[in-house]
């Protein structure tokens, strides 16, 4: 596996909402670690892909989950026909070869995982591979980016203060209606009229957050609905399958969302 396979060949389309592109360019120039804060499906991953392409750097993305251990990030010894050999994990690969490493939903990972990133996020910029007995000094182009959804966190699953304070950060929210409608229209290849209707439905669903809905419909869900409409499905059915059924099991909440869709269809 070579690092070149992590280079983005085509520009990932990204519609900016504010000064996030300029901020990221400065953060990268200063090699500051970056935290992207915001709800799921609002464009964080797409943004980091776009920035990696813009800066011409390879991007290694890791989706963090609760069973993930430090070894999954750093690497491990594997048993092969000729004995054991070391295999770099995705983080080590990025550190050695100067990629941007994006840890998506980092709080999902176990605490020992977040400790691994500490020595990379201060002036030392080193990664100790304890099992291998090696200290890897980060390539000058290496940068660490994490995403964090403030809405989901419980006290048990939050980033430690000592971790948070190592990052520069930018807030992501759903884009303003006109921008979100152009994203939906271009990503799902639907008309502006349909995109506008989907965005209106999403905005209303977001107002139900905290009243029984953990989160409203994300931009990603609107794109899914748009893609179903593109196949010939009605707007009502598309919203049911791409938005309402995935986000809630509560019959009253489903009823409330059905009413929102009927009002906008």
- Could you say which of 11, 13, 63, 115 contacts ligand ADP (CB under 6 A)? 13
Distance of alpha carbon 113 from alpha carbon 117, whole angstroms: 7
Distance of alpha carbon 98 from alpha carbon 164, whole angstroms: 23
Where in 14-43 is the site for ligand ADP (CB under 6 A)?
A: 14-15, 40-43
- Give the residue nearest to ligand ADP (CB): 43
Site pattern 177..196 for ligand ADP (x: CB under 6 A): ------x---x---------
- Could you say which of 27, 33, 35, 45 contacts ligand ADP (CB under 6 A)? 45
Segment contacting ligand ADP (CB under 6 A): 161-169, 207-215, 218-226, 229-237? Answer: 218-226
- Could you say which of 35, 170, 195, 223 contacts ligand ADP (CB under 6 A)? 223
User: What are the two backbone dihedrals, phi and then psi, of residue 125, each rounded to the nearest 5 degrees?
Assistant: 45, 50
Using the structure block, give the residue that is written with the tokens 């593109």: 230
> Residue 219, interface with ligand ADP (CB under 6 A)?
yes
Size of interface with ligand ADP, in residues (CB under 6 A): 16
> Residue 139, interface with ligand ADP (CB under 6 A)?
no
Closest CA to 100 of 5, 1, 7: 7
A 10 A CB-CB count for 204 gives: 18
Smallest gap, in angstroms, from Cβ of residue 126 to ligand ADP?
28
Torsion of CA 191, 197, 198, 200, to 10 degrees: 140
Smallest gap, in angstroms, from Cβ of residue 81 to ligand ADP?
40
Site pattern 155..174 for ligand ADP (x: CB under 6 A): --------------------
Smallest gap, in angstroms, from Cβ of residue 46 to ligand ADP?
4
Segment contacting ligand ADP (CB under 6 A): 10-18, 207-215, 233-241, 251-259? Answer: 10-18
- Alpha helical stretches, state H, the chain: 20-29, 44-55, 70-74, 90-97, 111-116, 161-164, 177-188, 192-207, 219-230, 235-239, 245-247, 251-264
Please check whether residue 212 is in contact with residue 39, taking contact to mean a CB–CB distance below 8 angstroms.
Answer: no
Smallest gap, in angstroms, from Cβ of residue 77 to ligand ADP?
33
User: What are the two backbone dihedrals, phi and then psi, of residue 78, each rounded to the nearest 5 degrees?
Assistant: -115, 150
Q: Is 75 left (phi over 0), alpha (psi -120 to 50) or beta?
A: left
> Residue 216, interface with ligand ADP (CB under 6 A)?
no
> Residue 175, interface with ligand ADP (CB under 6 A)?
yes
> Residue 46, interface with ligand ADP (CB under 6 A)?
yes
Produce one character per residue of 82-101: b if its CB has 16 or more CB atoms within 10 Å, e if not: eeeeeebbbbbbbbbbebbb
By the criterion CB under 6 A, which residues form the site for ligand ADP?
A: 13-15, 40-46, 175, 183, 187, 219-220, 223
């Amino acid at each position: 596996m070579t690092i070149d396979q992590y280079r983005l060949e085509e520009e990932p389309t990204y519609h900016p909402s504010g000064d996030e592109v300029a901020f990221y360019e400065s953060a990268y120039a200063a090699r500051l670690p970056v935290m992207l804060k915001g709800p799921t499906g609002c464009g964080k991953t797409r943004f980091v892909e776009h920035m990696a392409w813009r800066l011409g750097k390879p991007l290694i993305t890791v989706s963090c989950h609760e069973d993930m251990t430090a070894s999954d990030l750093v690497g491990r010894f594997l048993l092969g026909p000729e004995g054991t050999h070391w295999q770099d994990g995705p983080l080590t690969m990025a550190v050695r070869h100067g990629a941007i490493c994006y840890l998506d939903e980092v709080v999902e990972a176990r605490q020992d995982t977040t400790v691994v990133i500490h020595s990379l996020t201060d002036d030392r910029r080193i990664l100790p591979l304890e099992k291998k007995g090696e200290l890897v000094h980060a390539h000058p182009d290496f940068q660490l980016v994490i995403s964090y959804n403030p809405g989901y966190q419980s006290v048990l699953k939050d980033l430690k203060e000592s971790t948070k304070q190592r990052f520069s950060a930018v807030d992501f929210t759903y884009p303003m209606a006109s921008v979100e409608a152009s994203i939906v229209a271009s990503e799902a290849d639907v008309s502006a009229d349909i995109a506008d209707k989907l965005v209106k439905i999403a905005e209303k669903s977001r107002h139900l957050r905290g009243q029984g809905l953990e989160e409203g419909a994300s931009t990603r869900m609107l794109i899914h609905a748009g893609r179903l409409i593109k196949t010939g499905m009605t707007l009502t059915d598309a919203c049911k399958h791409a938005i309402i059924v995935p986000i809630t099991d509560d019959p009253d909440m489903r009823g409330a969302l059905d009413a929102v869709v009927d009002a906008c269809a």
